[in-house]
Chains A and B, each alone.
Chain A
Amino acid sequence: MLKTAIAVDADLASRIAIRCACQLGRSIDMSVGTIHALEPGEEGHAIATGWVRQTWEDAVVRESMDQVTRLVKSEQAGCRMLEPPLFLPPENDRGDRIARHLRSNHCNLFVEGFLHRYKPDLFMEKIGSRFYRTLPCPTLMAQNVPPMSKGVLWLSQGKVTEKMMETYLGIFPNQAIELELLICRFGKNPSAAAKDSSSASGVEPAVSFFESAGGTIKNISTVEGSPSSMAALVRDHFLIVSSVPPQNSLMAQLLSKSPCSLLFLP
């Protein structure tokens, strides 16, 4: 069984993360836990000292916990498998705290919500964070919840490792979702359309591995151009799969243009 943890705050992005995970949970054997990492900021600015300050801080934290609990409860109506939230104590780096939790609990998938933005700054900041640079497990950045029938698009710049395919198959062992592979060659001269590349050398070993595990890749193609010229290709899928690209790289720019949920593999 896939062990999943969703980071939940009292906001819309978290609702999207929950709905996205629960949608997966309807076709994949998985547990869906929720965690909320209390932020040091949630203790607020000191308004006094001694017991007054302590009482006020406790109230702020309690309020935050109540909001998260209410949000999870409200989503449980549509997702019975959703577990009540686990609260992680505050720490300076939220990502470190979550990463430790994921490792110590042997989670196979981490899900967090992120509202897709036209301006990519926050996305770049996120994928440049220590958490994303050292992913403890596959991480789903949930941005929208389109139907699973829209399939999965795997983005690569030419090389797909067997380890990544193995990790992917660990999440989708029963081929519940159709998979396409798109090899992106970034350059100035965009080609008119994606070309068939089923025999591309960089991906052959991984594809063979995938097929030997009983999987099929619906389509393998290559596209050349700038991130902007490729944007239309990453707009209409259930999931986009990729490794975490370097911050501000061309692949990161392309991913920032996708409103689909993004599955990052370590």
Chain B
Amino acid sequence: MRILVALDQDMRSAHTLSQVTQLLVNTWANVTLLGIVPRKSDDGGVPMDFVDTMNQYHKAVLQGFAAEDLPYAPADDDYEIAEIRPGIYEKIGNTHGGIKELTVRIRVGNPTQTILEEAQDCGSDLIVLHGDMDSQQKIATKADCSVLIVKKERDTGRILCFLDDDLLSQRSLEMITQMAVLFNAEIEIAGLTDKQSVEEKIEKKLDWLIHYFNGKGIQPWIQLVALSYLEPFILEQDHWSLVTMWMGETSIFKRLFSVNKVAKLLESRKSSVLLLR
């Protein structure tokens, strides 16, 4: 798995990174820390304070691991930032000793465009960004891979997974399991229904999912939500750490997202959001 973490100098980035670090400790995923600056500094390069921030982020990730478990190359104080392609900078330093890749990059430009380009370039399976980034809605809608929008920490550890009659991928289920560990949370599955035939399909899927999560030592909560009640359901309840939605080609959310209905609903929510593809 490759994770792309989009970072800026907002305090939220540090919180997002601490969440991602726990995910990395569990998964040993390849990771790109992507810093985004809107424009170059007056000398035509990247602002030095931003380079320092990215270096701090890099160190923070490494410090999340026990020394003997570190899958990435250790941090090197002797590094340089090189422009590897126009507008794309990379931290060049010690790359030896890691069995997994940790890349630190800075891109100059529009956040939506740079994040989506970088996700394609590095073949990322998951984009992580914080919930105050202006571009979150566009990235969530346009990305080809899964997207995790991290909002502020919640007290209650419960993850809500919306389930419709779209196909579920093994990778997305594993990601939810990882999130349950990451947020130290219980899983609540809301099966979306609108007619009897769909309800029967959803019941079978719920049965399978209960079996799947039981196998992982997780006992999920389940409930059914009529599609026509989705909006009040989301608006009324705000107690989840994370809301996840499958965004397959035929999924309900894929259709709803095209009109930004659910995106707007979730924008105002305090829960983090994981869109699975």
Structural contact, B239 and A115, CB atoms closer than 8 A: no
Complex Cα distance, B213 from A145, in Å, reads: 13
Beta-carbon nearest neighbor of B230 in chain A: A118
Complex Cα distance, B237 from A115, in Å, reads: 19
Q: Knowing A12-B203, A12-B206, A232-B239 touch, does A117 contact B221 (C-beta < 8 A)?
A: no
Q: Knowing A12-B203, A12-B206, A228-B236 touch, does A259 contact B229 (C-beta < 8 A)?
A: no
Question: Which residues from B are CB-within-8-Å of A195?
Answer: none
A119 CB contact (under 8 Å) in B206, B207, B221, B226: B226
Q: How many residues belonging to A are interface residues under a CB distance threshold of 8 Å? A: 19
Q: How far is the CB of A74 from chain B (nearest CB, A)?
A: 11
Q: Does B88 contact A (CB under 8 A)?
A: no
Structural contact, B207 and A259, CB atoms closer than 8 A: no
Question: Which residues from B are CB-within-8-Å of A116?
Answer: 222-224
Complex Cα distance, B190 from A76, in Å, reads: 27
Q: How far is the CB of A224 from chain B (nearest CB, A)?
A: 20
Residues B112-137 near A (CB distance < 8 A) = none
Question: Which residues from A are CB-within-8-Å of B223?
Answer: 115-118, 143, 259
Q: Knowing A147-B219, A228-B236, A259-B188 touch, does A11 contact B203 (C-beta < 8 A)?
A: yes
Count, A-B residue pairs, CB within 8 A:
43
Q: How far is the CB of A64 from chain B (nearest CB, A)?
A: 15
Residues B199-220 near A (CB distance < 8 A) = 203-204, 206-207, 219
Beta-carbon nearest neighbor of A147 in chain B: B219
Complex Cα distance, B188 from A16, in Å, reads: 15
Question: Which residues from A are CB-within-8-Å of B219?
Answer: 145-147
Residues B223-241 near A (CB distance < 8 A) = 223-226, 229, 233, 236-237, 239
B203 CB contact (under 8 Å) in A115, A118, A235: A115
| Secondary structure dominating the interface of B | mixed
Contact with B along A116-155 (1 / 0, CB 8 A): 1111000000000000000000000001111100000000
Complex Cα distance, B188 from A147, in Å, reads: 14
Contact with B along A62-104 (1 / 0, CB 8 A): 0000000000000000000000000000000000000000000
Q: How far is the CB of B234 from chain A (nearest CB, A)?
A: 10
Residues A219-266 near B (CB distance < 8 A) = 228, 231-232, 235, 259
CB-CB nearest 7 A-B residue pairs: A116-B223, A118-B225, A12-B203, A117-B224, A12-B207, A144-B221, A118-B233
Complex A-B: 10 CB contacts under 8 Å: A12-B204, A12-B207, A15-B207, A116-B222, A116-B223, A117-B225, A145-B219, A228-B236, A259-B221, A259-B223
Extra pairs beyond A119-B226, A228-B236 (7, CB < 8 Å): A12-B206, A115-B203, A118-B224, A118-B226, A146-B221, A259-B221, A259-B222
